[in-house]
A and B are shown apart, each in its own frame.
Chain A
Amino acid sequence: MDDKFSSIEQTVLSDYKYGFVTDIESDNAPKGLDESTVRFISAKKNEPEWMLEWRLKAFGQWLKMKEPDWANIDYPPINYQDIIYYAAPKQKISVDSLDDIDPELRKTFDKLGISLNEQKRLSGVAVDAVIDSVSIATTFKGQLAEQGIIFCSMSEAIQEHPDLIRKYLGSVVPITDNYFAALNAAVFSDGSFCYIPKGVRCPMELSTYFRINAENTGQFERTLIVAEEGSYVSYLEGCTAPMRDENQLHAAVVELIAQDHAEIKYSTVQNWYPGDKDGKGGIYNFVTKRGICHESAKISWTQVETGSSITWKYPSVILKGDNSTGEFYSVAVTNNHQQADTGTKMQHLGKNTRSRIVSKGISAGVSQNSYRGLVHISKRADNARNYSQCDSLLLGDKCGAHTFPYIEVKNKSAVVEHEATTSKVGEDQIFYCNQRGIDTETAVALIINGFAREVMNQLPMEFAVEAQKLLAISLEGSVG
Chain B
Amino acid sequence: MNNISYLKEKFDEIQSKDSGLSGIRQKAFDAYAKLGIPTVRNEEWKYTRVSGIFNQDYKLAEIHPVSVEVEDFETFRLPGCENANQLVFINGVYSTGLSTILSPSLSVMGLEEAAAGEFSSIVAENFNHSARFLKDGINALNTAFIHGAVFIAVKKNKAVEHPVYIYNITDARNEPVLSQPRSLVYVAENAQVEMVETYNTIGHSDSIVNQVMEIVVEKDAFVYYYKIQQDSSQASQVSTTHIRQVGKSFAQAVTISLSGNIVRNNLHAILEAPFAEAHMYGLYLQKGNSHVDNHTLVDHAVPNCESNELYKGILDDNSTGVFNGKVMVRKDAQKTNAFQSNKNILLSDNASVNTKPQLEIYADDVKCSHGCTIGSLDPEGLFYLQSRGIPRKAAMALLLQGFAVDVTSQIKPAAIRAYVEDMIIERLSTEA
Contact = CB atoms under 8 A, between A and B. Distances in A.
Given A412-B349, A414-B374, A416-B374, A424 B361 contact: no
Given A397-B334, A403-B370, A415-B375, A409 B352 contact: yes
B373 A400 contact: no
Contacts of A392: 359, 361
Interface stretch (B82-90, B181-189, B340-348, B382-390): B340-348
A-B CB proximity, top 8 nearest: A412-B346, A394-B364, A419-B371, A410-B352, A416-B374, A422-B368, A421-B369, A400-B362
Given A70-B43, A397-B363, A409 B368 contact: no
Nearest to B356: A406
B77 interface: no
A346 to B, nearest CB: 13
Contact of A412 (B331, B351, B373): B351
Interface residues of B, number: 35
A408 B354 contact: yes
Given A377-B374, A400-B360, A409-B354, 8 more contacts: A392-B361, A399-B364, A402-B361, A406-B356, A411-B349, A413-B376, A415-B375, A416-B374
Given A403-B370, A417-B373, A422 B357 contact: no
A405 B361 contact: no
B1 interface: no
A416 B331 CA distance: 32
A470 interface: no
B62 interface: no
A379 B364 contact: no
Contact of A419 (B344, B354, B370): B370
A422 B375 contact: no
B367 interface: yes
Interface residues of A, number: 35
Contact of B346 (A405, A411, A421): A411
A23 B415 CA distance: 82
B374 A415 contact: yes
B371 A418 contact: yes
Contacts of A419: 369-372
B381 to A, nearest CB: 14
Interface string B315-332: 000000000000000010
Nearest to B336: A422
Given A412-B348, A416-B374, A421 B354 contact: no
Contacts of B361: 392, 394, 400-402, 422
Interface centre among A394, A402, A406, A409 (most CB of B within 10 A): A409
Contacts of B369: 419-422
B366 interface: yes
B235 interface: no
Contacts of B350: 379
Interface of B: 43, 331, 334, 344, 346-376
Contacts of B376: 412-413, 415
A190 to B, nearest CB: 36
Contacts of A397: 331, 334, 363-365
Given A399-B364, A402-B361, A411-B346, A416 B352 contact: no
B356 A405 contact: yes
Nearest to B346: A412
Interface string A107-122: 0000000000000000
A402 B356 CA distance: 12
Contacts of A422: 359, 361, 366-369
A399 B348 CA distance: 43
Contacts of B354: 406-409
A418 B366 contact: no
Contacts of A400: 360-362
Nearest to B367: A423
Nearest to B354: A408
Contacts of A379: 349-350, 352
B331 to A, nearest CB: 8
A401 B365 CA distance: 12
A411 B346 CA distance: 8
Nearest to A388: B372
B142 to A, nearest CB: 27
